[in-house]
Structures are given as structure tokens and as C-alpha cells.
Structure 1
Amino acid sequence: MHYDIAIKRLMEMGGTGILRTIAGLELRELRTLDELPQEQTALLRCDYAAQFTDMQGGEGIVLVEFQTRWQEDKILDLVAYTVQRMRRHKLPVIPIMLLFNPHSAARDFFERGPLRRFEFRLVKIWEIEAADLLATDQPWLWALSPLTHDGVAAAGKVDNLLHTAPVSKTERSDLLTIFVIFMGMRDTLVTQQIIERRRELMIESPFYEMIKQEGREEGREEGREAGREEGLVKGLRGSLLDVLSVHLGEIPLPLQSRIAAVNDAVLLRQWFQIALRCKSLAEFEKRLDG
């Protein structure tokens, strides 16, 4: 699943509550940071980066990397993200890794060669009880429940909670769809049942297109990399146009042409993330050129 964009949306909706509950960070405010400039190597693209203000008024940067499986070398990526953001923002950086699946070697530090010791916060999501997330009044935490060790068993309850969550219809649609994306990593049958039951609401979320696109991608023959890339770009382009037209209004022809000319999946993902945070088409175009 293309869950990286979904994760950013989830963090933007309830990042302070998520980090307080699962990482022990008491933050007053989070401001999502844009992707690094395109000239930076693709290595320096973490799942979520934000500038924070804590309860005492102190400022810093928090980096969150979501990992499905433990890979020690991924810590080197986290080192690179941390150093780059320290240099760019001149602020303290708190690196966090959220690990989905159990692994006996998982640890919260790295030591190798000249890198004597790099420490970060490791959150082992599989050790969390789904009930602990559901006991909160924060639906963004409910959406993470499939990743807990008993998350599949709680799927029906979470589905009902999210369907009646006291948030806007747009947020409810996004949360249900993100919940399904995470559930897809655990149980495909339960996932399909929820999609069939909640399709009418989920279809309003730009993330719903990702689920359909993922299904199309998985159905392609192995070895047809060019075809898969073309399909991915087409799906991302469609998702971007959908979120712009639904949430920001009619798209002018010059902007439509500009989007149609982009064949880079990474760039389209970045534009999609920017679109989710904009309040007007003018702001979106300004941020593209900024």
C-alpha cells in the first residue's frame, strides 16, 4: 500500500495526540514541514517531519519514520534525516521510528564504525493494546488500531466508532479510508468487508483512489515495470486532480496542463501532500513555485 501519504494526513489531523499517546511527547502544536527541495537525494525523505512547540514553549523538529519490518540499515536513513533537518532548521531534532511487526533484534540505538551511538525513540506498535487506543477520544488513534497486536479482532468496533466519529464528514471519510489501508496490511478479508460496507463514505476521500490503484497495480504481471509505473503515475495524477477539484474548486486549464505534463510519481506525491494542506488553488500554485 502507498501508506506514506495516508500517514502524513493522519499526523496532520491528530499528530499531537498520536505522539503523546504512543511516544510520550507532550506537544502543544505541530506544523507539518514540506518535503525537502527536489535536488536533495531521495534518501532524505522521511514519512513525516514537523516543527513543534512543546508545553514550555520550546521549539524543535520531530521526525517520524514508519517501518513495517525491522531493518537495521533503515536507522542510517533516520540518521541522515536527523542530520539534514538539524543543519536546515538549526533546532533540536527528535527522531522516532514506529515499527509495525515484531522482531527480536529491534532496538532504539545504533552503533557501528565511526558512528559511536545514535539514539532514537522506538515505538513497537505490536505491543500496544487496541483497547488502549480506543479508550481515548481521538479517532486518529483509532485509525492506527489495525497495527496493534489485537487490531484485527477489534476491527468491527473501530469501524463503527469511526463511522460515527465526532469530526467533519471529510475527516471521517479520510479516517475510515486510512483505517482500511492499515487493515489491509493485516487481513485482506476483513479489509474487503469494510470497503464494501463503507464504500459510499470512503469514496469521498482522495485516499480511496489509492486503494483502487493498489489493487490494479497488484494485478499486473511481474516484470512489466514500465506499465506499473505508468499506472501509478496515472493514479496519483487522478488523485491530485480529485483533491484539488473537490476541496479547492474548479481547476484552471493552465494548472491542469501543468499537472498532466508531470510523469514523476515522487513529484506527484509531493504535490498531493501540498494540496491537502492548502486552502485555495492560488495557495497551491504559490507553494509549487515557492
Structure 2
Amino acid sequence: MGGYDAAMKVILAHCREAALEFFLGLHVEESEILELPQETASVRRSDFPIRVRASDGRVFIVLLEVQSRWEPNVPLRLLEYDARYRLKTGLSVLPVVMLLTPSGNVVENFEDGGIRYRFQVISLAAMDAQKVLEWGNPCLMPFVGLMRGGSEIFQRAEEAVYGSSLGRSDKADLLTGMALLSGLVDKDLPRRLLERRRDIMMESYAYELIKKEGYEEGVRSGLQQGTLEATREHILETLEARFKDVPKDIFQSLRKIQDPDALKLVFRKALRADSLDEFHKALLSFLD
């Protein structure tokens, strides 16, 4: 299972009713994700058949097809799944495509010969992220990064999840799902989220996908880079305190050293060198 479909599975496990109400206007009394039919080997894990009992008593299937981007064969594939679930359950089906990223050539109906098929398309990129924030349900905050204006309020959405009354495991799953989804449009969003909430996100079973997507490595790299910068600053401050004016070429040479252990040795030399010239010669030896 890939990143975005695993994220959707995590989110829908906690927040089906909220998602159905916000995106489809359905008032749901109860819902469950159905098991995939044994004979439907072609059905992908990004398809979510949800059995719904609405507040007006109707029982039907919401067939949610999640796509990272639009593909021309989506209508036919959705029609195939639609027919299979009607045959399997005897219930009517509401077919829905959720697009996670901006896409062109999107259609909401398919016609070919005697076949006419209509379905609903939810384009997250066309939705206003602020409305999710105003709605206030922490379950929907993982979608904010994919919506219009989402990057500007991403941290507020994250804080809405973290500061909510949800249980710790629920928060871990939603924040992890939020990271995986937002990475579809901006790789910096999940990295920054991971820097702030890594302690709780590690408790989610979906966290392994964070590592697989490379976001954790990015955070480690960022932390290491921050350590290097701090060490360089300490070296320069030490040199300025001991020898006053420090030439720019020393700073430029320090920038070339990417090994933390080497920089520590340079720092020790900055503390012990009898002159700036002695330090500079020692510094250049690390660049050979």
C-alpha cells in the first residue's frame, strides 16, 4: 500500500462520518468500510466501499475512489466496481471520485454507445482550506494541505488535531495521515510537521510509510545541518572574541566542511590556536 491510500485508510478509519458529511452533505447514523469482494482482484486499495445508513433511514453504498491525479480510465473502472458492489450487496451505489491534486480534463459522466454513467467528483485543490478550519472537526484537518490556501494555515490545522480532545493514538494516526497527504503537493509540509510532532506520530502504525517516503531522513538531514550551522557560529564567535577581525575566507572555508566530527576538531583549534594565522592553516588542512 502506498502513501496516500494508506493515509486515506487511516483517516477513514477514524473519520468516515465527518468526511461523508463535509464532502457529500450526507447525515450518517452509521457506516462501515466493506471488505473487498473475493472475486475483485482488480479492485485497488485506494477504493473504499462504505456501507452507509443515513439519518433518513436509507441504506446504500458510497463507492469512494481516491486518485492522486485524474486518469482517463477512471470512469470505466468506477463503473466496473459500481456494478460489482450492486450485485454483491443488492444496494444502490453512490459513486464518488476524490482527486487529491490539481488535474485537467476531469469529467463527471461517461457516455459510450448505450452506456451513460454519472458520478461525483471531489477536487480538493478547488476547495477552500479555511472552510475546513472553520468547520472545526479535527478529523478533516489532514486534508487541509491539499486545498486552496492550505499551506498558509497548515500549522493551524495541525494544532487543531494536536490540541483536540481525541485520544493520543487517534492524533498520531491523523497527523501521520496529514503528513502523507500533504507530501503529494509540498514536500516541506510533512518534513516540518514531522519536526514538530515526531514524538506522537511514531506511535501510528502508518509511521513506517513516513520513513519509506523519505521524510524522516529529510528531518534528520535538517537537524544535522542545523547542528553544523550552530558549530560554525560557535567557531566564529570564539575567533572574534580572541582575535577580533575574522577574514571572510575563513567563514567560506568553514562552510565547506560538512563532517560534524571535523568541525568539532576545528572548534577545539579555535580555542587553542595562538594566532589567527595558525588557526587558518589548521583549517585549510581539513579541506585537503
The residue matched to 1:25 in structure 2 has which SS? coil
Cα separation, partners in 2 of 1:2 and 1:36, compared to 1, 3 Å:
farther
d(CA) in 2 for partners of 1:103 and 1:197? 31
The residue matched to 2:135 in structure 1 has which SS? coil
User: How large is the RMSD of aligned CA atoms in angstroms?
Assistant: 2.0
- Which residues of 2 match residues 196-235 of structure 1 at below 5 A? 196-215=195-214
The residue matched to 1:144 in structure 2 has which SS? helix
Q: Cα offset for 1:9? A: 2.3
The residue matched to 1:146 in structure 2 has which SS? helix
The residue matched to 2:66 in structure 1 has which SS? strand
Structure 2: gaps of 5 or more residues: 219-288
Q: Which range moves more in the overlay, 190-199 or 204-213?
A: 190-199
- Contact persistence 2:108–2:118 (CA under 8 A): yes
1:126 is matched with: 125
- Contact persistence 2:3–2:181 (CA under 8 A): no
2:240 is matched with: none
1:65 is matched with: 65
- Which residues of 2 match residues 80-91 of structure 1 at below 5 A? 80-91=80-91
1:157 is matched with: 156
Q: Cα offset for 1:44? A: 6.0
- Contact persistence 1:36–1:45 (CA under 8 A): no
TM-score by length of 1: 0.70
2:142 is matched with: 143
Q: Cα offset for 1:46? A: 4.9
2:95 is matched with: 95
Q: Which range moves more in the overlay, 131-140 or 197-206?
A: 131-140
- Contact persistence 1:44–1:81 (CA under 8 A): no
The residue matched to 1:63 in structure 2 has which SS? strand
The residue matched to 1:42 in structure 2 has which SS? coil
Please give the per-residue CA displacement for 1:159-217, whole angstroms capped at 9, x wherever unaligned.
Answer: 2111112100000010111011111112112321211211110000011111112339x
Q: What residue identity is the alignment partner of 2:20?
A: L
- Which residues of 2 match residues 1-290 of structure 1 at below 5 A? 1-37=2-38, 39-43=39-43, 46-115=46-115, 117-215=116-214
The residue matched to 2:30 in structure 1 has which SS? strand
d(CA) in 1 for partners of 2:27 and 2:46? 22
d(CA) in 1 for partners of 2:169 and 2:114? 49
Structure 1: gaps of 5 or more residues: 220-290
Q: Which range moves more in the overlay, 148-157 or 79-88?
A: 148-157
d(CA) in 2 for partners of 1:77 and 1:139? 32
TM-score by length of 2: 0.70
The residue matched to 2:61 in structure 1 has which SS? strand
Please give the per-residue CA displacement for 1:123-172, whole angstroms capped at 9, x wherever unaligned.
Answer: 12111111101112311111111110211111111121111121000000
d(CA) in 1 for partners of 2:3 and 2:209? 7
Cα separation, partners in 2 of 1:45 and 1:169, compared to 1, 3 Å:
closer
Residue identity over aligned pairs, in percent, reads 28
d(CA) in 1 for partners of 2:44 and 2:190? 32
1:272 is matched with: none
The residue matched to 2:37 in structure 1 has which SS? coil
Q: Cα offset for 1:96? A: 0.6
- Contact persistence 1:46–1:63 (CA under 8 A): no
Ranges of 4+ aligned residues in structure 1 off by more than 3 Å: 43-46
Q: Cα offset for 1:45? A: 5.1
Q: What residue identity is the alignment partner of 2:87?
A: R
Q: What residue identity is the alignment partner of 1:158?
A: A
The residue matched to 1:211 in structure 2 has which SS? helix
